[in-house]
Chain A
Amino acid sequence: MNLQDIASQVRRDIVRMVHGVKSGHPGGSLGCTDLLVSLYFKHMELKTDDQGQVVFDMEGNNEDVFFLSNGHISPVLYSVLAHRGYFPVPELATFRKLDSRLQGHPATAEHLPGIRIASGSLGQGLSVAIGVALGKKLKGDSHLVYVLMGDGEQQEGQIWEAATFAPHHKVDNLIAFIDFNGQQIDGPTDKVMNNRDLGAKYEAFGWEVLHMDGNDYTSLDTVLTQAKGLAGQGKPIIIITKTEMGQGVDFMMHTHKWHGTAPNDEQLAKALAQLPETLGDY
């Protein structure tokens, strides 16, 4: 199955999950779907058993690992993890419900395979990913650590502590992404709190900075391959990943309004009509 078809099913899951509990964050989830599908179904080296089934352990030794710092886009991560085989797809129906392993924001307390740290309070994931990258170096594990952050999240101070630390300690087995969709809860990022030129900022901090269209599979493939090639050369890597919030559902695009709003029945039907069911709905 091609990546686009997997992405279509993931997008269906996202709107259905959020609709199912009348809460959650569809906009950023839809925008980052193509990136997460590209990582988990093509670019990341994941630990598998003889049958090709993914195997999860907390330490993540000898495999690439991914961290979601902007934890509110949990629907996309949960759907991708489920379809990649970390836990049963029908469990997506428990999202945000009592006694579920699929908490509103990712958490480790319920031991959901694929999740290694809680995230939700913003600005912390880059630091955690750096720590994992350092741990891999200490153990002689040459695999990579990926971390996704939001662009609004760049307003958190801790991000810049981490951004200073990583080049200083030559954490070059780390590939970070900024979901550059230009939107945050209160409106366009430029209006709420202008981040200015994020690429120039990270470059000044000593990072290797790349740019990518996060909703274009040719761009994703080219730049992710390029980024992996730059690993191990003394610098951490960051990819400013241009995405469209709400990508794939026309009425959720070009606005911040679907950051944290669930569709009603009618809107759900309208959204699903635009997203072919490719792997079967949960």
Chain B
Amino acid sequence: MKQYPYTDKKDTRSGFGAGMTELGRTNPDVVTLCADLVGSLKIDTFIQENPERFFQCGISEANMIGVSAGLAITGKIPFATTFANFGSSRVFDQIRQAVAYSNKNVKIAVSHAGLTLGEDGATHQVLEDLAMMKALPNMTVINPCDYNQTKAATIASANLEGPVYLRFGRPVIPVFIPEDMPFEIGKAITLNEGTDVSIFATGHLVWEALQACQILEDEGISAEIINIHTIKPLDTEAILASVKKTGCCVSAEEHQINGGLGESIAHTLVTNYLAPQEFVGVKDTFGESGTPDELMEKYGLKAASIVEAAKKAISRKSK
């Protein structure tokens, strides 16, 4: 399989911070808002270099979304930042009316998504945000997989006219996406070509999918690994082309299986090309306190779960 050597491990939120630093220097229309989580969102440099373009909102996420919509009306490109839970479920109605329905150029950029937020527990571990955001017309939903991709996605989000939900996280993971790899919103990235099973992964599950690929290869199974960084609009062309080749697939995400990437893929397959699909994700349950690694293990989001799902999908192919 294609190898992705890495020399560094970083959190994806730092990739967001780096993207914001660059946008602060290159795009004078970009403004940032935060609801009392500046350190967690890694936007200190942006604020230091552009104090007049930062608005501290305090612990008032609903107001932050409305203020962002107002700034967008005047032609600014606001990035509203907080934890994923508080930037989605807490403010769904504000996003729905003032951002999505009003089609405002607001970027909702959120960290600490999913189980890997860790010890804070289920109150903060949002696993339903992709479902909510992908249900909104006009909304683009992006869930990058490592530091470099998050930085690229941040910059690409600023250049896209319209509402964006950009989701990233807290754990420190390998930086395996080459810095110069092109990033295009809505365009899936094939990380490894294979013939027996397609594995569509997003966010932190992409690295796990690559580990799974190696394990499968050692057992003589050829897996195609496709990084779906954009949940919506979904690259249905890439998905169908891959499944037509392999005949089955696995979706892998740090999200509820209800309403997540897997469901979008299933919809694509059901309406275009029937093939077995297995779902790696959180199975209709809340999370709990623990280390990110322990939680990934307990809730079945590690490479081993992807391997198991891949074998099951292959076994279900019509003989």
Q: Please give, as numbers and ranges, the residues of chain A lying within 8 Å of B37 by CB-CB distance.
A: none
Q: Please give, as numbers and ranges, the residues of chain A lying within 8 Å of B70 by CB-CB distance.
A: 117, 127-135
Interface residues of B (CB under 8 A from A): 31, 52-53, 55, 57-58, 60, 62-76, 78, 93-94, 96-98, 101-104
CA distance A123 to B97 in the complex (A): 11
**A157 at interface (Cβ–Cβ under 8 A)?**
yes
**A158 at interface (Cβ–Cβ under 8 A)?**
yes
Q: A107-B101, A138-B52, A169-B55 are in contact. Are A162 and B63 (CB under 8 A)?
A: yes
Contact B66 A118 (CB under 8 A): no
Q: Residue B73 contacts which of A119, A128, A162, A164 (CB distance < 8 angstroms)?
A: A128
Q: In the assembled complex, how far is the CB of residue A146 from the closest CB belonging to chain B, in whole angstroms? A: 13
CA distance A271 to B78 in the complex (A): 47
**A61 at interface (Cβ–Cβ under 8 A)?**
yes
14 new A-B contacts, CB < 8 A, other than A60-B74, A109-B102, A117-B98, are A108-B101, A117-B102, A118-B101, A124-B94, A127-B67, A128-B66, A131-B67, A132-B70, A132-B74, A136-B74, A138-B53, A158-B62, A164-B63, A165-B60
Q: Please give, as numbers and ranges, the residues of chain B lying within 8 Å of A108 by CB-CB distance.
A: 101-103
From A121, which residue of chain B is reached at the shortest CB distance?
A: B97
CA distance A120 to B101 in the complex (A): 12
Q: Please give, as numbers and ranges, the residues of chain A lying within 8 Å of B67 by CB-CB distance.
A: 127-128, 130-131, 134, 162, 165
Q: Please give, as numbers and ranges, the residues of chain A lying within 8 Å of B93 by CB-CB distance.
A: 121
Q: In the assembled complex, how far is the CB of residue A116 from the closest CB belonging to chain B, in whole angstroms? A: 5
Q: How many residues of A sit at the interface, in one of the four size bands?
A: 35 or more
CA distance A59 to B69 in the complex (A): 12
Interface of B is mostly: helix
Contact B66 A109 (CB under 8 A): no
Contact B69 A131 (CB under 8 A): yes
Q: Please give, as numbers and ranges, the residues of chain B lying within 8 Å of A117 by CB-CB distance.
A: 69-70, 73, 98, 102, 104
Q: Tell me the chain A residues, 126-181 only, with Cβ under 8 Å from chain B.
A: 126-136, 138-139, 157-158, 161-162, 164-165, 168-169
CA distance A124 to B74 in the complex (A): 17
Q: Please give, as numbers and ranges, the residues of chain B lying within 8 Å of A158 by CB-CB distance.
A: 62-63, 66, 94
27 cross-chain CB contacts under 8 A: A59-B75, A60-B74, A108-B103, A109-B101, A116-B73, A117-B70, A118-B97, A124-B62, A124-B94, A124-B97, A127-B70, A127-B98, A128-B66, A128-B67, A128-B98, A129-B70, A130-B63, A130-B67, A132-B70, A135-B71, A139-B74, A139-B75, A158-B94, A164-B60, A165-B63, A165-B67, A168-B58
CA distance A132 to B75 in the complex (A): 9
Contact A138 B97 (CB under 8 A): no
Interface centre among A117, A120, A121, A131 (most CB of B within 10 A): A131
CA distance A168 to B94 in the complex (A): 22
Q: Residue A165 contacts which of B57, B65, B78, B104 (CB distance < 8 angstroms)?
A: B57
Contact B73 A60 (CB under 8 A): yes
Q: In the assembled complex, how far is the CB of residue B249 from the closest CB belonging to chain A, in whole angstroms? A: 35
Q: In the assembled complex, how far is the CB of residue B173 from the closest CB belonging to chain A, in whole angstroms? A: 34
Q: In the assembled complex, how far is the CB of residue A115 from the closest CB belonging to chain B, in whole angstroms? A: 9
**A55 at interface (Cβ–Cβ under 8 A)?**
no
From B100, which residue of chain A is reached at the shortest CB distance?
A: A118
**A3 at interface (Cβ–Cβ under 8 A)?**
no
CA distance A158 to B58 in the complex (A): 13
CA distance A169 to B56 in the complex (A): 9
Contact A162 B66 (CB under 8 A): yes
Q: In the assembled complex, how far is the CB of residue B180 from the closest CB belonging to chain A, in whole angstroms? A: 34
Q: Please give, as numbers and ranges, the residues of chain A lying within 8 Å of B94 by CB-CB distance.
A: 124, 127, 158
Q: Please give, as numbers and ranges, the residues of chain B lying within 8 Å of A133 by CB-CB distance.
A: 70
CA distance A116 to B70 in the complex (A): 9
**A58 at interface (Cβ–Cβ under 8 A)?**
yes
Q: Please give, as numbers and ranges, the residues of chain B lying within 8 Å of A161 by CB-CB distance.
A: 58, 60, 62-63
Interface residues as binary, A18-62 with B (CB distance below 8 Å gives 1, 0 otherwise): 000000000000000000000000000000000000000011110
Q: In the assembled complex, how far is the CB of residue A71 from the closest CB belonging to chain B, in whole angstroms? A: 9
Q: Residue B74 contacts which of A120, A123, A135, A164 (CB distance < 8 angstroms)?
A: A135
Q: Please give, as numbers and ranges, the residues of chain A lying within 8 Å of B104 by CB-CB distance.
A: 117
Nearest 9 Cβ contacts at the A-B interface: A131-B70, A127-B66, A135-B74, A161-B63, A161-B60, A131-B67, A132-B70, A158-B62, A128-B70
Q: A117-B98, A124-B94 are in contact. Are A132 and B73 (CB under 8 A)?
A: yes
Q: In the assembled complex, how far is the CB of residue A133 from the closest CB belonging to chain B, in whole angstroms? A: 7
CA distance A165 to B154 in the complex (A): 27
From A171, which residue of chain B is reached at the shortest CB distance?
A: B67
Contact B55 A134 (CB under 8 A): yes
Q: In the assembled complex, how far is the CB of residue B152 from the closest CB belonging to chain A, in whole angstroms? A: 27
CA distance A126 to B94 in the complex (A): 12
From A125, which residue of chain B is reached at the shortest CB distance?
A: B66
CA distance A129 to B73 in the complex (A): 10
Q: In the assembled complex, how far is the CB of residue B36 from the closest CB belonging to chain A, in whole angstroms? A: 12
Q: Please give, as numbers and ranges, the residues of chain B lying within 8 Å of A125 by CB-CB distance.
A: 66
Q: Please give, as numbers and ranges, the residues of chain B lying within 8 Å of A109 by CB-CB distance.
A: 101-103
Q: Please give, as numbers and ranges, the residues of chain B lying within 8 Å of A136 by CB-CB distance.
A: 74
Q: Please give, as numbers and ranges, the residues of chain B lying within 8 Å of A168 by CB-CB distance.
A: 58
From A131, which residue of chain B is reached at the shortest CB distance?
A: B70
Q: Please give, as numbers and ranges, the residues of chain B lying within 8 Å of A169 by CB-CB distance.
A: 55
From B65, which residue of chain A is reached at the shortest CB distance?
A: A127
Q: Residue A59 contacts which of B55, B58, B68, B73 (CB distance < 8 angstroms)?
A: B73
Contact A119 B66 (CB under 8 A): no
